[in-house]
Chains A and B, each alone.
Chain A
């Protein structure tokens, strides 16, 4: 509803490059080479799209998410949000962008600040990027807790009193509390117990439908990514080597790396292979 009509994308990434210098030398550091973590990424994230992103470790998935979350400044290229490069946003525009994009990380035991209560954890993004009163923040936090299916009584406990699944739900509540429109999910289930993985996956899929969210889903597990995503991008050595709708991509793989990735994933049923 807040979307401005003239933009049919949420984020548009154009020729994004991120090069890190490799330094050597005992006294004086010399640059002896460059690691090309991202080497020319072009990508568009549309409203309500679940974009799965697969690739081996070091292929640049996380670096890309860091650039989107303003944690790293790209070497060159741009990321457009409502027509403006996100790395040049200031003031109210920057705050609005921060509310728009949120993230959920892999390890729910590391992603919640241990000395803050659940209420503070959930309402922090709103607190620092908005102008709400304490009372309104609390209302928002309660609402977010209910949305992710947690008991509202948990609002005043510390993270260490929660289970892994509950913690991940709190992390998700934090991510949706700002009425965000795109959430970066960095392997959101891989640190969880197998028995609650599916619950979290379904919660994320429900929320995506209900709140009309876009996800950038980063994962190693091709089966999980394929299950959740509308589209899949395959990254390899800092480049997107294949991009397409999930079904199509899995059936007609063009790039040998994608084929290898599919061959390596487990079949749906042990006897199918």
Chain B
């Protein structure tokens, strides 16, 4: 039994996009073990070590591998702790958005009629609100904080799920197997749960892979604008925002490292999401 599970794991490993998975796993491990990995306190700096360049530069020190910022805080330690914020916010927001959007999309698509009209007009209205502006407004109302950001992003991004899921549901509803389920006497809940949801799920995953990238970027943007994760918490968007003044003055490490971190995380998610879509679709499973 155990061997079987192990084989299956090995089988999956052979098919995944390895680089993206390794990057993501590394980031997750980093986020989990930040307390052991970080050399310095991410929030309290050493005033004597301000604006040190990365260690390989002439004036750099190996005790601060990626340099320090204007307050003498270690950039690497802040990056390590910042991965926590980015991952928690991204996963939690996408899960919340996905659940709300999928639920509403299934209802609208399956029941049609006025239910569809009400839900979709509401969704259209929601989609027309500019994300960042709405985020700023909500952040001002709710106040800064990691969980407030999660709620704001989750409450913003569901509308795309609703649209996609509604469309997929509409097309699934007319398929023969759904008709046959009705003939068999399946109730509406069972048809939605067993016949429609599993078939729209791969679209939800694909969308999530794209959304999670956008969510990370929007979180970083809100934080950059000063309404997201409050300082002095280490967040990648915050690091970008604090470092942007230094870019022209030659303190490039303040911006490049968090920028690269965000890019790597977003790219990994996109690559894995694309693979996951194909893996979750049984039709593709044997082709690869």
Q: Report A's interface with B, CB cutoff 8 A.
A: 69-71, 94-95, 98, 101-103, 105, 107, 110-116, 124-125, 128-129, 158, 160-161, 174
Contacts and interface: CB of A to CB of B under 8 A. Distances in A.
B177 A112 contact: yes
Interface string B158-198: 00000000000000000111011111111100100011001
A93 B176 CA distance: 25
A113 B181 contact: yes
Contact of B180 (A95, A103, A161): A103
Contacts of B206: none
A98 B184 contact: yes
Interface size class of B (residues with CB under 8 A): 20 to 34
B63 to A, nearest CB: 54
B36 interface: no
Interface string B179-222: 11111111100100011001100000000000000000000000
A125 B186 CA distance: 8
Contacts of B182: 69-71
Contact of B282 (A94, A98, A101, A115): A115
Interface string B257-288: 00000000000000000000000001100100
Given A110-B175, A124-B186, A128-B187, A116 B180 contact: no
Nearest to A186: B176
Given A103-B183, A114-B199, A128-B185, A160 B175 contact: no
12 contacts: A98-B183, A102-B183, A102-B184, A110-B177, A113-B195, A125-B184, A125-B185, A128-B185, A128-B187, A128-B190, A160-B282, A160-B283
Given A158-B282, A160-B282, A160-B283, A111 B180 contact: yes
Which 7 pairs from chain A and chain B are nearest by CB? A115-B198, A125-B184, A98-B185, A111-B176, A110-B176, A113-B177, A158-B282
A124 B282 contact: no
A71 B177 contact: no
Given A111-B177, A115-B195, A115-B282, 15 more contacts: A69-B183, A71-B183, A94-B185, A98-B184, A101-B183, A102-B184, A105-B176, A111-B180, A114-B199, A116-B194, A124-B181, A124-B186, A125-B183, A128-B184, A160-B286
B183 A115 contact: no
Contacts of B181: 113, 124
B184 A124 contact: yes
A107 B176 contact: yes
Nearest to A115: B198
B183 A70 contact: yes
A126 to B, nearest CB: 9
B203 to A, nearest CB: 13
Contacts of A105: 176, 179-180
B179 A71 contact: yes
Contact of B199 (A107, A115, A174): A115
B185 A129 contact: yes
Give the residue among B180, B190, B194, B199 with the most A Cβ atoms within 10 A. Answer: B180
A160 B177 CA distance: 14
Nearest to A101: B183
- Interface-centre pick from B184, B190, B199 (highest chain A CB count, 10 A): B184
